[in-house]
Chains A and B, each alone.
Chain A
Amino acid sequence: MWFVRFVTSSIGKKLVMAATGLLLFLFLLTHAAGNATIFMSSAVFQDYADELHSHPLIVLVFSSALLAVLLVHIGVGLYLFYENRAVSNNRYVVSKRVVKNSLASATMPYTGLFVLLFLVIHIFGFTFSPKDVPISSTVRDMLSNFFYALFYITAFIALTFHLSHGLWSMLQTFGVNHPRYELFIARLSLVLPLFFFLIFGGIAFYFMTGLGANY
């Protein structure tokens, strides 16, 4: 069947990575927007959380779909990583990468796995937090712990690297590469990940440093 042939081909797998990556990216946008309410006040954030959870079905459908997308992204990503290692591990006595700034592309599986570790801890900490404590307090209490917040910030640095190659790579995989948009895409691949870093990292920083003591 054409679909099986498609998803098992090398380019098909790349397109699956790119499509699921795009969906995860869109999720990050909504998540960043929602969480930014923290900078307003605990009340605004609590309102947002209560409003969201007053529609349990939306949350259920949305998070199940997100989980499926994430699992496909991670599964295919690790499969590609495994396949490529079998082809190319330690080929040369002397090897040198010619491309500058290859750090983000060379570390994709590792930054991705670090984000996965973060996600597991993040979900256990917040999604499955005790129901009798308001989420706005849980967030403050958890992130006021210096090392917990530091771990968050480290994970966001990994995410920034992952997305900086990911965004460009996704567009290339979709076939979007044209001289007219080259500079724009290069800037976008820097600015958007940094934007996420500012919002998500900013929240951790806010509580870690005590700036948000009376939020």
Chain B
Amino acid sequence: MSSSINLTLKIWRQPHSDALGSLETYTLDHISTDMSFLEMLDVLNEKLTKEGKDPVAFDHDCREGICGMCGAIVDGVAHGPEKEVTLCQLHMRHFKSGDTLVIEPFRSRAFPIKKDLLIDRSALDRIIQSGGYVSVNTGGTPDGNSIPIPAKQAELAMDAAACIGCGACVASCPNGAAMLFTSAKISQLALLPQGQVEGKERALAMVAQMDSEGFGNCTNARECEAVCPKGISIRNIARLNREYLTAVLSEG
């Protein structure tokens, strides 16, 4: 059975990167509790468009929790109050009629706001570009099982590879650090034999890029892990620290 709720939204509106932004208040009635959070924003945007106003800009793509495009801070928490879901997979049944929701963009010095809730996360892409890949040429397509990998190791690598790069970790870190993201991208390769060949160069290059993008320094506050929609563990950060230390002591 579906029911509907009435909401008051306070949304960060900012025309472009250099403009001053502020919270604007909107009321939205008869929102079906079966809607996702983004569908609720769609309803708002339709209403704004009909009124001849500028719709709220927000990022989205797959709307099934796998692409990493969506995300906003809802009442102070990245991707809203539910554990391990992206904003697109958060449903309105988790809210009550009469609730006031404050919706702000993911913020970090390294994430300039483009418009409203839309941010530029290309700093994360540049961390990947600096070394988050395997570049060893292997000739023809290798046989799938030519390198045996223990199931447990493969599972750990898959857990790290679940990172969708949404940026919630950075947005929630009290220091704006990108350690959880970088550690997941390093771990998914460092855990597999194919990734170990370039392991040291990768750790050095990705950490150097991360530092140069203007992210903060990790203080092990654990907020990143708590808000990650994919449940990425800070055990990956411990692994990154180990990878980086061995690389810096023995590389070059």
* Interface residue ranges, A against B (CB under 8 Å): 2, 5-6, 9-15, 80, 83-84, 86-88, 91-99, 102, 105-106, 108, 165, 168-169, 172-179
A105 in contact with B219 (CB, 8 Å): yes
Known: A10-B211, A14-B218, A99-B226. A173 touches B248 (CB 8 A): no
Residues of chain B in range 177-193 having any CB-CB distance to chain A below 8 Å: 177, 179
Known: A15-B241, A15-B245, A87-B215. A173 touches B104 (CB 8 A): no
B175 in contact with A175 (CB, 8 Å): no
Q: Which residues of A contact B107 (CB under 8 A)?
A: 91-92
Bound form: Cα–Cα A11–B239 in Å: 12
B175 in contact with A87 (CB, 8 Å): yes
Instruction: Determine if B39 is an interface residue (Cβ-Cβ < 8 Å).
Output: no
Bound form: Cα–Cα A172–B73 in Å: 27
Instruction: Determine if B23 is an interface residue (Cβ-Cβ < 8 Å).
Output: yes
A87 in contact with B216 (CB, 8 Å): yes
Interface stretch (choices B47-55, B127-135, B140-148, B230-238)? B230-238
Q: Which residues of B contact A12 (CB under 8 A)?
A: 248
Known: A9-B207, A80-B217, A87-B215. A95 touches B76 (CB 8 A): yes
A87 in contact with B219 (CB, 8 Å): no
A10 in contact with B218 (CB, 8 Å): yes
B185, chain A: closest CB distance, angstroms: 15
B217 in contact with A14 (CB, 8 Å): yes
Contact partner of B174 among A2, A14, A88, CB < 8 A? A88
Bound form: Cα–Cα A11–B174 in Å: 16
20 contacts between A and B (CB under 8 A): A2-B251, A5-B248, A9-B207, A9-B248, A10-B217, A83-B217, A86-B109, A87-B109, A87-B176, A87-B216, A94-B102, A96-B76, A99-B223, A106-B174, A106-B221, A165-B220, A172-B234, A175-B241, A177-B235, A179-B235
Interface of chain B, main secondary structure:
mixed
B41, chain A: closest CB distance, angstroms: 18
A14, chain B: closest CB distance, angstroms: 6
Count contacts on B: residues with CB < 8 A to the other chain: 48
Residue of A with least CB distance to B74: A94
Residue of B with least CB distance to A83: B217
A84 in contact with B208 (CB, 8 Å): no
Instruction: Supply 5 further A-B pairs (C-beta < 8 A) apart from A11-B240, A88-B109.
Output: A87-B216, A92-B76, A99-B223, A168-B220, A177-B235
Known: A84-B219, A102-B221, A106-B174. A175 touches B238 (CB 8 A): yes
Instruction: Determine if B86 is an interface residue (Cβ-Cβ < 8 Å).
Output: no
Contact partner of A98 among B175, B217, B227, B240, CB < 8 A? B227
A84 in contact with B211 (CB, 8 Å): no
CB-CB nearest 6 A-B residue pairs: A96-B76, A175-B242, A177-B238, A87-B216, A84-B175, A98-B226
